[in-house]
Structure 1
Amino acid sequence: IHLGPVVDPLPPRLGDPSRLPNALARGLVTWTAILGGLVLLAEVGAIPPVPLALAEAGIFRDVRRDGGHVALTFEPRGLWPSDESRFLFRPGDRVFCFTAIFAPRGAELALAHAWERWDPAGRWVETDRNPWSMHGGRDGGWRSWTAKSNVSPGEWRVRILTADDIEVGRVRFSIEPTDAPAGPMLVRKY
């Protein structure tokens, strides 16, 4: 890159044309190494074979289809609430994990929500694994959700996994039991 006479007093030179084949060979070797490395990482499970991106994830009181949208119901807390990362659990409640995942059009994948709680022994313990299939991408991400009603107080997380157990993302939240009546609910459309 030539940045001008003040920064770089020497203008760019084309150089000796006989060096062009060597430069092309070095470039080919570099790109082959990069692509080979990506293939190797995909084969050993370090990266998913299809590019995936978590567009949205959260914990909610209820998740329902509403026409072309999904209605996400939650009890707002805090200054900018968007989900329930602190879930006040009342008898009969269900906890919903909603995710939207971007994937290339035409992709067919098996994914799962792995529900895990923090054990007093100092480790995450999987309590449930809810699989689903994803067929093709869509604007806004592929929307899916799972629910759980048998939860205990404490720290929880839901990991979004591929069939090869590669983590696409995760949602952390806490469960706190309460007998207090529910406050006003907000519904967010996605």
Structure 2
Amino acid sequence: MPYYLQRIIELIKRYPGVIAIGGFASGIGSFIMVDRQASLASWIAVIMLVSWVWLMLENTFTQWFSRAFKRNIPEGLLRYATQMIHQESLFFVLPFFYITTTWNSGQLVFTGILTVAGLISIIDPLYYKWVAPRRWLFMTMHTLTLFAAMLTALPIILHLTTAESFKLALGTAMLLSFPSLATSFPINSWKRGVMLVVMTLAVGGAGWLLRSWVPPATLWMTESAIATNLDNQNRTPGDDIKTLTASQMRGTGVYAYTAINAPRGLDERIYHVWRFNGQEVDRIPLDIHGGRKEGYRAWTHKQNFPGSPVGKWQVRVMTEDGQMIGVLRFEVTDDGTPAPAQ
């Protein structure tokens, strides 16, 4: 192995956190200037896709290289290159998912798994002794990383909606999971082939059913309020309230106000889903446009209520495919029970 390559590998092994810190810093920079960082997001997505093709063709390519140049590519160099890709990609997307995760929901699980994957990528004993030797686990980690990178990059690069990005990222993950499964369960009969197709479809089906657990990586609320009045001219809500009486609710209705940050050039339809004591009672569509630093301001005004509106209310802010952007909560009390001071 050339001396300078050996030195690079030794430095990376000695300071594995440097790559992760660089990835995290680039993610923070992209998050702060999300509408100006399409080029960086593009590079991350391209690197991930190319690296996946590399992993699929790794054995073929290394054999060809050895025959053509009469030299072997160092195994350590290959593994360190892949590790750097995982570190850069995971720590690039994590700032986006941290800010968009609704932490008291199932989204905690997805973001937690991404965090664990990020930690594994910088802890050599785990990465090289536990993940890398198990091909199926290694490819699963790579597929997850690619899925998260595409969710983050596609709205920025191609201005795809969150729903479109999720479908494309999930479809790609399904296609790429097939060779990973085939590695662990070799196709030596037609029954095995059918089983692998079913397992691949099951991966996609599970991803679709659990889509509400995946944060919308490039959409987040910059401001929200529940109010009984709203200044339409200035597009600002009244005081944010957490509790009101039934008569107040019926008298003026209730405004759910949200400001949603989205990448420049992105047009997206979201929904305010009103829920009463755990049951959905209304779903109101809103069209938002990306590019405004403070977020696109929009609201719904609900004036029709059940016979007795006393209880716990939620307004879930959702994408078209059911990913949750955030939740607003308030409670309605009996008129005989005065609302506490806000």
The two structures share one fold, judged by TM-score above 0.5: yes
Bigger relative contact order, structure 1 or 2 (CA pairs below 8 A, ≥6 apart): 1
CA deviations on 1:70-104 (whole Å, 9 max, x unpaired) are 23123xxxxxxxx1110233242210100011111
Contact 2:259 2:296 in 1 (8 A): yes
SS of corresponding position for 1:97: strand
Residue 100 of structure 1 is matched in structure 2 by: 259
Match of 2:79, as an amino acid?
Answer: R
Partner of 2:237: 72
Instruction: Provide the residue aligned with 1:6 in structure 2.
Output: none
Structure 2 residue runs of 5 or longer lacking an equivalent are 10-72, 87-141, 152-165, 171-206, 338-342
Determine which of 258, 266, 270 is the counterpart of 1:111. 270
* Structure 2 CA distance for partners of 1:24 and 1:142, relative to 1, 3 Å: farther
2 CA distance for matches of 1:171 and 1:49? 17
1:171 aligns with 2:171: no
CA shift for structure 1 position 49:
5.9
Residues 267, 289 of structure 2: 8 Å contact kept: yes
Aligned partner of 2:146 in structure 1 is 36
**C-alpha separation in 1, matches of 2:236 and 2:146:** 43
Letter in 2 for 1:60: A
- 2:235 counterpart letter in structure 1: V
Closer/same/farther in 2, CA of residues 61 and 179 from structure 1, 3 Å limit: farther
TM-score, normalised with respect to structure 2: 0.40
Do the aligned partners of residues 26 and 117 (structure 1) sit closer, same or farther apart at CA in structure 2, a change above 3 Å counting?
Answer: same
Per-residue deviation, 1:172 = 0.8
Please state how far the C-alpha of 1:136 moved relative to its aligned partner: 1.9
Whole-angstrom CA distance in 2 between matches of 1:143 and 1:59: 14
The answer as to 2:282 corresponding to 1:128 is: yes
Say which SS state the counterpart of residue 283 (structure 2) adopts. Answer: strand
Structure 2 residue 220 is the aligned partner of structure 1 residue 53: yes
- The number of residue pairs the alignment matches comes to 156
More helix by share: 2
Distance 1:178 1:165, change over 3 A: same
Gaps of 5+ in 1: 1-13, 75-82, 119-123, 181-190
Q: Give the C-alpha shift of residue 173 in structure 1.
A: 0.4
**Contact 1:112–1:132 (8 Å) recurs in 2:** yes
Deviation of 1:178 after TM superposition, in Å, equals 2.9
* Residue 17 of structure 1, CA deviation: 5.2
Quick one: which amino acid aligns to residue 146 of structure 2? G
Q: What do you get for the CA RMSD once the two structures are aligned? A: 3.4
Q: Aligned with 2:232: secondary structure?
A: strand
Q: Is the 8 A contact 1:86 1:174 kept in 2?
A: yes
Identity of aligned residues (%): 30
